[in-house]
């Protein structure tokens, strides 16, 4: 048989129990908030493996930067209102994402 070079696990990212995102200002490393928790939940639904604890640490920043990079957004050292909105929009507009296509496009960049 054929053995894949890259294995992907399909996750259904449509979830109704995400914490709401009501971010009105940028959030910096070390801050704790419900918005950070909601962002961590959404990033985990996209395949990240973060501890969803609401603490904005270096691992959360790295996952945010990965999302920003994949979406051709400006990389930041904080969680911006624009990135949080882009992440929420991405999740809300994803009924069944084609993870194989998404991964292929990521590898081609």
pLDDT, position 64: 97
Contact indicator for 14, 95 with CB cutoff of 8 Å: yes
pLDDT, position 11: 55
Contact indicator for 66, 46 with CB cutoff of 8 Å: no
Contact indicator for 55, 36 with CB cutoff of 8 Å: yes
For every residue of 46-100, DSSP letters joined together read: TT-----SSB--HHHHHHHHHHHHHTTPPP-SSB-HHHHHHHHHHHHT-SS--HH
pLDDT, position 97: 58
Task: Output phi, psi for 94, to 5 deg.
Answer: -110, 100
Average pLDDT per 10 consecutive residues for the chain, totaling 109 residues: 74 69 95 96 91 96 96 95 94 68 78
pLDDT, position 79: 96
pLDDT, position 2: 81
């Amino acid at each position: 048989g054929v053995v894949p070079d890259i294995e992907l696990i399909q996750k259904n990212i449509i979830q109704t129990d995400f914490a709401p995102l009501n971010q009105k200002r940028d959030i910096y490393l070390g801050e704790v908030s419900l918005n950070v928790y909601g962002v961590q939940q959404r990033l985990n639904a996209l395949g990240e493996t973060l501890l969803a604890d609401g603490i904005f640490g270096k691992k959360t920043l790295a996952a945010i930067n990965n999302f920003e990079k994949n979406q051709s957004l400006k990389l930041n050292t904080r969680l911006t209102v624009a990135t949080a909105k882009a992440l929420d929009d991405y999740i809300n507009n994803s009924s069944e994402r084609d993870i194989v296509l998404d991964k292929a496009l990521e590898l081609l960049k």
